[in-house]
Structure 1
Amino acid sequence: MRGGEVPSDGAQGCGRDVAPRSQPPTQRSPFRQANEQMYSIRTFLSGARMDIRHVPFASAVWFTGASANVQQNSVEWQPWQLLDRRDLRLPVSQVLASVLGRTRQHLASRNSAFDGTLQQPSGAQCREIASRLRPRFEVALGAADYRQAREQDLQHFLDEQYEALDVMEAERRVLFTGAAGTGKTFLALEAAKRASLEGLRVRFACYNRLLGRWIQRELGGFPGQEAGSLHRMMMDLAGVAPREDASESWWSEQLPLLALEALFEREDPADVLIVDEIQDLSEQAYLDVLDLMVKGGLAGGRWLMFGDFERQSIYGTADGRRALKERSPSLYERGLYRNCRNTPRIGRTAADVSGLADVYRGFRRPDDGVDVTFAPYSSPEEQERMLARVLQTFGDERFQNDEIVILAPMVEGAAFHARNPALRNRLARYGEHGKKVGYATVHAYKGLDAPAVIVTDIDAVEGERAESLLYIALSRATDRLAVLAHRDALEQMWANVTREKRP
């Protein structure tokens, strides 16, 4: 029982809090309720033709949050049937054994038919009683149960992240850097939500279109938020749409100029600027736009930026961090080093085969004992068979179609070219996949993650850019990862792993 509900008037004590919340409160005391339940169990076991004549049955009430002060004896209960928070100092097993022992003595003194010297229940009797009261059964967990457990497992802060939140409160301009899976986007979202609750207007920008849409959905219920990819924001500001044949220079040069013109005319900066994937948005043209998006600009405004300049900079310049520091000399830089996304085997494998040793200082998630699957192929047909086989395995492990993502370094990969009708009908382009298995390029999916990831079409791993792309692809998986690679590419991956770490 909860604290504050200790009856002080003997048999008249009221157990109003003992009844389930969905039922009206009862006027029966907690001792009477406990005693009735005890006799109910005894009657049930007797009806099952068990010999329990010399088995002591006891009831007690434990007020775990209060200290009981008994002023008088009660006709309803014995003093040793009343437990309070002081009894919590002892092991629970010791407290219950004491109650049973006192019960045995009490029954022997009151009932001549009860033999208190018999050491009952015996071990065999205990097992039979447990079997009768709680028969063995299999818990059938559905797909939704597994999905909920996986999602809840990921949404816990580490001490490192709590410290990062403290830094956000103390510093006006912070650059957080860390490898994939260290919680950068998670922290960025938390910062945006907190700023919204303070009544501040927030601009939250990222590079990736798919990530921008996901961030919009996550922040949909928070007022004062403008979120999405920076390119989408610039188009909205300028009131323009890209042509189908828009060149790279239109996106990286002309569009930023149009957005700057709109910002100069509007003069409508946000209170707080949050940027994810800053390593891909550190070109001078993009920094010019970001500078006008926040009150005080990059030099004096309130902003938070998150990125990985060493391992995931596949669009930005090599000196992006320097360019940002030139814009804001007083920025505070903080590193994130503990992986909170991947299982240890996935995280270590992603780093090792990509030639990135010692990326993480630890993992939040426990080791589930499941290794990364590497499936070599020599032809497109063999790769398609491997893909179908891995999908079947993931399905057997209760991963739903929309929890599985297929990533390839090119647009027209194995999923796009699937010929098997059953396989082809199970797949769809990510973002349009609904309840099917989505497929996308590694570039498009950067910044996101999925419970189960299949990486296909790894034909070669040569050079830093290819290794970075491989690392980004592999680090998207939270629980299961399969890599379909050409046999030659697998040899290149193992060459990146130190001899001591080779399987």
Structure 2
Amino acid sequence: MATYIGLGANDPTEASELRVANALKRLPQGWVILHHVSWQSKRGGRQGDGEADFIVLHPTRGMLVIEVKGGGIDIDAGRWFTTDRFGRRHSIKNPYEQATASKHALVGWLREHELAHRVRVGHIVAFPHMDSLPLIGPAANQQISITKPQLEHIETVLTSCFDYWGLQAELTDQETAKLVSLLAPTISVTPKLSSYSSDAETQILTFTTEQVEAFSGLRASRGGLILGGAGTGKTVLAIARAEQLARDGFRTLLVCYNELLGRDLMARCGNPPNLVACTFHSLCLQEALQAKLPVPSVKSTDWWENEAPSLLIDACATTENLYDAIVVDEGQDFSPLWFSSLRCLISNHPDAPFFVFADPLQDLWKRNWLKDMEPPFVWELVRNMRNTNPIAACVAGAVNLACRSNGLPGPTPRWQVSAGVPTEGDIVLAVEHLLEEGFDPTSLVVLCASPSLVERLRERSVGPHSFGKWNSKGIAVETIGRFKGLEAQAVVLALPGVASFEGQLAAYVGMSRARSMLVAVGRSPDRSALNWPALEP
């Protein structure tokens, strides 16, 4: 029996095509029949498309395109018409012209796949409802036409047609299989991980916008403490509140501790009227310079912790630079002295807005930030708006919290097992996998607890891509602490160990930086200690 492949369906639904298919199936072994083969190519200088009702292939005889026309036909001054079973007349394309177009498209396609020299192609038209065929013009003759009675002797008719066209083929079994697989491909394509991640990214942005709109109710509030875990959108909301205050006519200061976050705040805010975004220590230095106060060239840790805020207080008395409102992002990084110095910059009006956004769990610096704080109200954000649901579950599990996510699906986070403390080679391998999955290098960030690992990685590269600093060329590599408050589409997190609570907090902070794709690199025991979900392929 011949090999029959139905591309649209196992069997044709049209009665005329079904008659032809049943006849072709009776061909002996070695013949291959394909039903409903679509094509696309240029016709008359323009791109066109069409389909061949059947293609018949024989490894030594060649290939035939069969066009099928059911019902009766009428030709009026060269124009073709057909009459359906209800007696209705329809204008149709010349079937011989259709068969010729399909043949030429197929020859061009074979040439592209370097098979045209191995098999020649002809065409034939079948009229399965007609007992005989009248003279219908120079484009048609008996040798390239099939009528109803001839379907009973299909091999003889096809052999005559092959001879008429002078067809031949020299196809090996492998070439025949290749040709059939090209015409009727069997393909299973899995979308790259980056595509799945990008879909999640779009939804995350939508949820964040919804949260900003919900938060607009705080417009009536003049200050307060807004608490939220990693990923709850504190920075987005802090920016929204600062911009809202500025639009309402308040000269507003948006301030944070982290240097990288400070740059990000300035970039995201731009330079609108009434709004200044900066880091706390850059503010101290700027005010001291304007007040012409001495600043040491070499600054100790104590200077940054205590003398800088004191210098800001002294500068305020001289410059009298006042703000109408202050918004503090990542307030858990501040000390009570820093908050006091900031209040020197705000007007003496008792209702002057002073907002602090903070996550108590991200208190990495232990500056006792909550001491003496008496906010007029406390607002708690409970839903993770940054991370997809799979990442949010990892973030919550790291510190034994209940997962309250936005419910967005996304790629399953990966745990890449390292033999010991993650090395440069472990990180390079993880990054290579993400690049192979289609992630853009600028969408990736590598986070490490160890500054020395950061420096070593910045001397390495992955293919044409080098490692570098955040917002520089190449793949960003930063410490977890420096990247706190920021986020990226995909994060590779190097975990040196999470035996201590501080290690768990570092993992919590690092994981939450990934919006839609997370790869953790660490030892197997660390995975258990962080309650890493078991649902991983």
Q: Same fold (TM over 0.5)?
A: yes
1:188 match: 238
Distance 1:420 1:190 in 2: 38
Distance 1:256 1:116 in 2: 93
Pairwise mapping of residues 42-61 of structure 1 onto structure 2 (< 5 A)? none
Pairwise mapping of residues 84-163 of structure 1 onto structure 2 (< 5 A)? 152-157=202-207, 161-163=212-214
Does residue 252 (structure 1) correspond to residue 305 (structure 2)? The answer is: yes
Maintained 8 Å contact 1:203/1:227: yes
1:375 match: 417
Deviation at 1:179, TM superposition (A): 0.3
Maintained 8 Å contact 1:377/1:484: no
Deviation at 1:340, TM superposition (A): 1.1
1:386 match: 426
2:529 match: 495
Maintained 8 Å contact 1:375/1:482: no
Q: 1:478 to 1:46 in 2, by over 3 A?
A: closer
1:91 match: none
Which AA in structure 2 matches 1:494? S
Does residue 324 (structure 1) correspond to residue 369 (structure 2)? The answer is: no
1:463 match: 500
Please provide the CA RMSD for this pair: 3.9
Q: Which deviations, in whole Å up to 9, do the C-alpha atoms of 1:46-79 show, x marking residues without a partner?
A: 999886999xxxxxxxxxxxxxxxxxxxxxxxxx
Q: 1:155 to 1:47 in 2, by over 3 A?
A: same
2:362 match: 312
Q: What SS is found at the alignment partner of 2:270?
A: coil
Identity of aligned residues (%): 21
Distance 2:469 2:491 in 1: 13
Deviation at 1:345, TM superposition (A): 1.3
Which AA in structure 1 matches 2:416? F
Distance 2:386 2:343 in 1: 31
Q: What SS is found at the alignment partner of 1:324?
A: coil
Distance 1:142 1:193 in 2: 38
Q: 1:241 to 1:404 in 2, by over 3 A?
A: farther
Equivalent residue for 2:388, pick from 343, 364, 367: 343
Distance 1:304 1:117 in 2: 81
Q: Which deviations, in whole Å up to 9, do the C-alpha atoms of 1:294-318 show, x marking residues without a partner?
A: 2237x63112221011x10112434
Q: Which deviations, in whole Å up to 9, do the C-alpha atoms of 1:363-403 show, x marking residues without a partner?
A: 225222423323222366xx333222211111122211111
Which AA in structure 1 matches 2:337? A
Q: What SS is found at the alignment partner of 2:328?
A: strand
Q: Which deviations, in whole Å up to 9, do the C-alpha atoms of 1:445-481 show, x marking residues without a partner?
A: 100011111112x332233322211211111111111
1:410 match: 450
Maintained 8 Å contact 2:504/2:530: no
1:296 match: 348
Maintained 8 Å contact 1:176/1:334: yes
1:451 match: 489
2:400 match: 356
Which AA in structure 2 matches 1:445? F
Q: Which deviations, in whole Å up to 9, do the C-alpha atoms of 1:19-55 show, x marking residues without a partner?
A: xxxxxxxxxxxxxxxxxxxxxxxx998999886999x
Maintained 8 Å contact 1:427/1:439: no
1:83 match: none
Gaps of 5+ in 2: 1-47, 54-66, 73-80, 91-101, 103-184
Q: 1:225 to 1:424 in 2, by over 3 A?
A: farther
Maintained 8 Å contact 1:345/1:372: no
Equivalent residue for 2:331, pick from 265, 272, 278: 278
Maintained 8 Å contact 1:203/1:293: no
Q: Which deviations, in whole Å up to 9, do the C-alpha atoms of 1:95-129 show, x marking residues without a partner?
A: xxxxxxxxxxxxxxxx99676699x9xxxxxxxxx
Which AA in structure 2 matches 1:290? L
Does residue 482 (structure 1) correspond to residue 519 (structure 2)? The answer is: yes
Q: What SS is found at the alignment partner of 2:362?
A: coil
Does residue 427 (structure 1) correspond to residue 477 (structure 2)? The answer is: no
Q: 1:294 to 1:114 in 2, by over 3 A?
A: farther
Distance 1:338 1:290 in 2: 30
Maintained 8 Å contact 2:197/2:517: no
Q: 1:228 to 1:493 in 2, by over 3 A?
A: same
Q: 1:112 to 1:221 in 2, by over 3 A?
A: same
Structure whose alpha-carbon radius of gyration is higher: 2
Deviation at 1:149, TM superposition (A): 5.7
Q: What SS is found at the alignment partner of 2:370?
A: helix
Does residue 222 (structure 1) correspond to residue 272 (structure 2)? The answer is: yes
Deviation at 1:253, TM superposition (A): 0.8
Q: What SS is found at the alignment partner of 1:306?
A: strand
Deviation at 1:152, TM superposition (A): 3.8
Q: 1:53 to 1:307 in 2, by over 3 A?
A: farther
Q: What SS is found at the alignment partner of 1:338?
A: coil
Q: What SS is found at the alignment partner of 2:519?
A: strand
Which AA in structure 2 matches 1:211? L
1:175 match: 225
Which AA in structure 1 matches 2:435? G
What is the total number of aligned residue pairs between the two structures? 368
Distance 2:535 2:475 in 1: 32
Maintained 8 Å contact 2:192/2:437: no
Deviation at 1:213, TM superposition (A): 0.5
Bigger helix fraction: 1
Q: 1:117 to 1:175 in 2, by over 3 A?
A: farther
Q: Which deviations, in whole Å up to 9, do the C-alpha atoms of 1:195-254 show, x marking residues without a partner?
A: 233333110001101000011011114222110111111111111797664211101111
Maintained 8 Å contact 1:346/1:481: yes
Deviation at 1:437, TM superposition (A): 0.5
Which AA in structure 2 matches 1:461? V
Maintained 8 Å contact 1:346/1:372: no
What is the TM-score when the length of structure 1 is the normalising length? Answer: 0.64
Maintained 8 Å contact 1:406/1:438: yes
Q: 1:152 to 1:501 in 2, by over 3 A?
A: closer
Distance 2:192 2:527 in 1: 37
1:287 match: 339
